[in-house]
């Protein structure tokens, strides 16, 4: 799989600005989105997203939660609201949720190249999930800026540099990482990203 120059250039720019290894940014994006920054949505280019209906449900109360559940947009059970396969359909789902509560909908969505949840907006230094969403929609560089902020919240890059694939996977993907082989995927992605960027390969 080739990595576009748009993505590689964006990773290098964010490395220069944020001090986070471009190889780490690209490696995360390879696993999460195949390093694909945008998808066509109607006549627009939009970042890749994943909407979590159970998370949306937790952020709502009263009439908003009742309306969202009746519309099939939220559920207390994880996985009950299925994400469509295509990004255009996912953006329709997000748009419907945003009509009920935009900030909650953006918070319940994973954004862009690294699929970072909008719920992290506060610790990443954004004024709200809406501002984080705006950054993701601006450019590949904006999406990597989000990933870089997230990687700086823990020893993510250090784990990659030590070839501690399981340690990185546990932090980034959660304790169930082994079920989908995330550690093996990130190991392969780190090597591919390093080669594409001309960086030393672990």
| 59-69 tens-digit pLDDT | 999 999 999 99
Tell me the CB-side half-sphere exposure of residue 96, using CA atoms within 13 A.
16
Please list, in sequence order, all residues whose beta carbon lies within 8 angstroms of the beta carbon of residue 184, skipping any fewer than 6 positions away.
Answer: 165
64: exposed, middle or buried (Cβ count in 10 Å: 0-12, 13-18, 19+)? middle
Q: Which residue, among 199, 121, 112, has the nearest Cα to 160 in the 3D structure? A: 199
Task: List, in order, residues 6 or more apart from 63 with CB less than 8 Å away.
Answer: none
Residues 111-146 pLDDT 10s: 999 999 999 999 999 999 999 999 999 999 999 999
pLDDT at 2 over 90: no
Task: Look at residue 51 and tell me whether its pLDDT is greater than 90.
Answer: yes
Q: Model-level pTM?
A: 0.94
């Amino acid at each position: 799989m080739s990595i576009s120059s748009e993505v590689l250039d964006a990773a290098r720019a964010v490395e220069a600005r944020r001090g986070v290894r471009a190889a780490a940014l690209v490696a995360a994006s390879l696993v999460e989105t195949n390093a694909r920054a945008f998808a066509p949505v109607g006549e627009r280019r939009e970042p890749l997203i994943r909407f979590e209906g159970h998370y949306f449900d937790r952020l709502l109360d009263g009439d908003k939660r009742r309306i969202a559940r009746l519309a099939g947009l939220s559920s207390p059970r994880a996985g009950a609201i299925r994400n469509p396969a295509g990004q255009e359909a996912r953006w329709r789902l997000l748009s419907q949720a945003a009509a009920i509560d935009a900030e909650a909908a953006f918070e319940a969505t994973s954004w862009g190249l690294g699929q970072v949840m909008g719920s992290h907006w506060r610790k990443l230094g954004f004024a709200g999930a809406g501002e984080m969403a705006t950054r993701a929609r601006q450019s590949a560089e904006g999406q990597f800026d989000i990933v870089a902020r997230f990687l700086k919240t823990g020893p993510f890059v250090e784990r990659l540099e030590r070839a501690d694939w399981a340690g990185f996977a546990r932090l980034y993907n959660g304790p169930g990482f082994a079920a989908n082989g995330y550690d093996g995927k990130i190991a392969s992605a780190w090597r591919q990203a390093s080669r594409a960027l001309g960086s030393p390969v672990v």
